[in-house]
Amino acid sequence: MLYKKIAKPVLFRMDPEKAHHLTIDGLHTVGKLPGGKALLNGMYGVPNYSELETTLWGIRFRNPVGLAAGLDKNAKAVPGFSSIGLGFMEVGTVTPKPQPGNELPRLFRLPEDGALINRMGFNNVGIETMAEHLREAGAHTIPVAVNIGKNKVTPNEQAEEDYRACIRGLYAYGDFFVVNISSPNTPDLRNLQHGDDLSRLLAAVKEEMKLQQQKHGGAEKPILVKIAPDLESEEVAYMVQTIVNSGVSGIIASNTTISRAGLTHKHKGETGGLSGMPLTERSTKLVHDIYAATQGKLPIIGSGGIFTAEDAYAKICAGASLVEVYTALIYEGPGLIRSLNEGLRALLRRDGFKHIADAVGSAHRR
C-alpha cells in the first residue's frame, strides 16, 4: 500500500532508468543502515512456511519466489533485496569487462499492457566490481545466483572465454550461476542457443565450473541456462536435448521476447526485449514444453509475466520448481512477494497438495 500510494506515483513520474537507479540506491542504503534489514523484513518479509520450502541442487529455498536478473545488475543491493521476502535472487547480467550498454533512452514502461521494454545491452560494472559488492554484502541470507554474459565486442567464436572469466572471477560469491545466451539486446547473442555453438559453450562452462570447484573445494555449484521464449517447438526440443546432454543443472524459461503481439501502448514499437503480462502465457507454455521434453528430470525456473499467485502457480503446475519476478515488482511493489506466497499456499490447499513439490508438473498428470 505504501508503495502504490506514495512511492510508485513519484517513481512513475521519473524517467524509468533514473527511477531504477533510485530504487537500487535506496535499497542499498537501507540495507547498510543499522536496523535497516530488520525494518524491510518487518514491512515486507514472508514467514517461513514448510509447505513452500524447496531444496534443489542441495540448496535450500525458503519459498519458490525469486528475483529475476536485470534489476540488481551490479549486486549493489543484495542485503536489501534479501530482506523483502524473496526465496532467492539473481544478480547481473555481468560481463568480464565493464560496459556502458546501449544509448539512452533504453527502458520504457507500457502501463496499459503491464509491460516493460528494455534494450539495456548488458550495462554493468564488470566482474571485479561485482565481486567487491558481493564481498561487502557478506554472508547470503537467501541463495544468490550470478547471471553471466559476454561483452558486446567479444565475437561469438570467443564467447566461451568471457563466460569462463565470469565464473573464475565470481565463483566464490554465487550459490549458483546462470548462463545468459538469450538477451535480444546483445548482437548475435541468441545464436549461441543453437547447435554446435551451444554444445561447445556449455562444455566450456561445465569444465570451468569443475576447475573452480577443485580450486575452492566443496560441492560443485549448479549452473543453469536461460533461454528465449521466441523459439519454435522443434528448436525447443533440439535445444533442450543439447542442454540435457551437457550436464548442466537446469533451465530458466524465459528471457524477454521480441514479439509485440497485442500491445496497445505508444512505446510498443521500441526496439528491445519485452517483459511483463504479454509474456505470461508464452513463458508458461515454454515451461510446459521443456518439462515434457525432459520428462521432468531437469529443474526449471519459470520467469515471465508473473503478477498473481495464479500466474506463478500455472508455471509450477506446468513444471517449474521455482519462479522469478521482475516487471510485476516494478508495478506492484515489494508487497507482491508476500501476496504471491500467501496465494500459493491457498492454491495448494485448494488442490489438495501438502507441499509445493507435489504441484510441480501436475498439469502433465491431469
**Mean pLDDT along residues 100-105:** 96
26-32: Cβ within 8 A, 24+ apart: 26/80, 27/77, 27/80, 27/81, 28/76, 28/77, 28/80, 30/80, 31/77, 31/78, 31/79, 31/80, 31/82, 31/83, 32/79
Closest among 118, 93, 132, 50 to 354, alpha carbons compared:
50
What pLDDT sits at residue 1?
A: 65
Number of domains in the chain: 1
Q: Which of 82, 83, 182, 183 is catalytic?
A: 183
Angle at 322 (CA atoms; ends 321, 328), nearest 5 degrees: 145
Q: Hey, what amino acid is at 119?
A: R
DSSP state of 103: P
Angle at Cα 198 formed by Cα 195 and Cα 202, nearest 5°?
Answer: 145
259 is catalytic: no
pLDDT tens-digit map of 47-76:
999 999 999 999 999 999 999 999 999 999
Beta strands at 54-56 and 59-61: parallel, antiparallel or unpaired: antiparallel
Shortest CA distance to 69 belongs to which of 218, 196, 209, 176? Answer: 176
Amino acid (one-letter) located at 43: M
Q: Which of 119, 62, 113 is nearest to 88 (CA)?
A: 62
Given pLDDT bands bounded at 50, 70 and 90, which one contains residue 137?
very high
Q: What is the pLDDT of residue 185?
A: 74
- The pLDDT of residue 46 is above 90: yes
Give Cα separations from 56 to 63, 81, 86, 138, 296 (angstroms): 12, 21, 16, 23, 14
Q: Percentage of the chain surpassing pLDDT 70?
A: 99
The pLDDT tens digits of the residues spanning 258-293 come to 999 999 999 999 999 999 999 999 999 999 999 999
pLDDT tens sequence across 157-198: 999 999 999 999 999 999 999 999 877 778 777 777 776 888
User: The domain containing residue 213 runs over which residues?
Assistant: 2-364
Instruction: Please say whether the beta carbons of 67 and 99 come within 8 A.
Output: no
What DSSP state is assigned to residue 145? E
How many Cβ atoms from other residues are within 10 Å of residue 22's Cβ?
14
- Domain CATH number, residue 183: 3.20.20.70
pLDDT in tens, 212-221: 999 999 999 9
Residue 351: what pLDDT?
98
